[in-house]
Structure 1
């Protein structure tokens, strides 16, 4: 039995949500700069800049400023299937060298109602000083706070999409 056996595990968050929009618009929310800067890890008020190349192996970089602190969120688009599927990475270089993975499935449930299945996978390293129970608790807290954060962003996304659709 290894004395310092360290198990690193991923935390997975799965959320399902219905939106009162067409699938094309929900897909655009993940790939269109005009929509993305209003809800994804930023707001129109706090967004300092956004650069996005919405294509396979393209990248994005968001600079958000809150209370005078600049936060950078960046990643790449791994897979894009128009109006159906997005796989992208997400990282915050000031906090970690690692990137997490976001997977989004979009499909029409009925006319004007689109379902989004959202999967987020994050690597949570196990620190040697933590017992197994402490590590499991750390992962649970990470899961719960991450899920809550994305739920709040999706509330904002619904509002943004309703406003965006009304302006079309």
Structure 2
């Protein structure tokens, strides 16, 4: 007889990105609506609105529309330590009343170097269905992990392109 799960479990996704971007600009990408609308869960073309005030305890909201479908992304900035640390929640209220957690650490790889490291950690609860065996649930968690990590990696490629362009513009002045 198959053994069934009795509790939801947590999936943690940890990603590291090295960029030739100053830490302040990376921090700005997570806290400035004009920059965030270009890469975080949306794009300039699909973003309908973004409402945020980068202060601890303040809620943010992003409305994205693609192929006639509207998605709302919401969360709360829990910790802001410019330019080195951000902790925020993220959720999609139409899909779940639960929010996941994002932690971002930003620092120079070596003091005085032009390489900045961004450590990203995403923690999510993966709901289980009572009918799943332990093996089926582990497979679901792995699929969730891999597809979510891939989605964030794609966003970070876009982020790096945007920040590289912004940094070049700043250096020209």
TM range (shorter): over 0.9
> Cα distance, 1:5 vs. partner?
5.7
Q: 1:132 to 1:5 in 2, by over 3 A?
A: closer
TM-score (norm 2): 0.92
Cα root mean square deviation, aligned: 1.2
CA distance in 1, matches of 2:45, 2:142: 32
After superposition, where does 1:4-83 map in structure 2 within 5 Å?
6-83=6-83
Shift of 1:163: 1.4
- Of 119, 122, 126 in structure 2, the residue corresponding to residue 120 of structure 1 is 122
What TM-score comes out, normalization by structure 1 length? 0.95
CA distance in 2, matches of 1:144, 1:5: 21
Taking a change above 3 Å as real, the CA distance of residues 94 and 30 of structure 1, as seen in their structure-2 partners, is same
Cα pair 2:61 2:74 within 8 Å, conserved = yes
- Secondary structure at the aligned position of 2:109 is classed as strand
1:152-167 aligned within 5 A: 152-167=154-169
Q: Which residue of 2 aligns with 1:100?
A: 100
Q: Which runs of 5+ in 1 are unaligned?
A: none
- Of 140, 143, 146, 1:144 maps to 146
Matched length: 166
Displaced runs of 4+ in structure 1, greater than 6 A? none
Structure 2 stretches of 5 or more lacking a match?
none
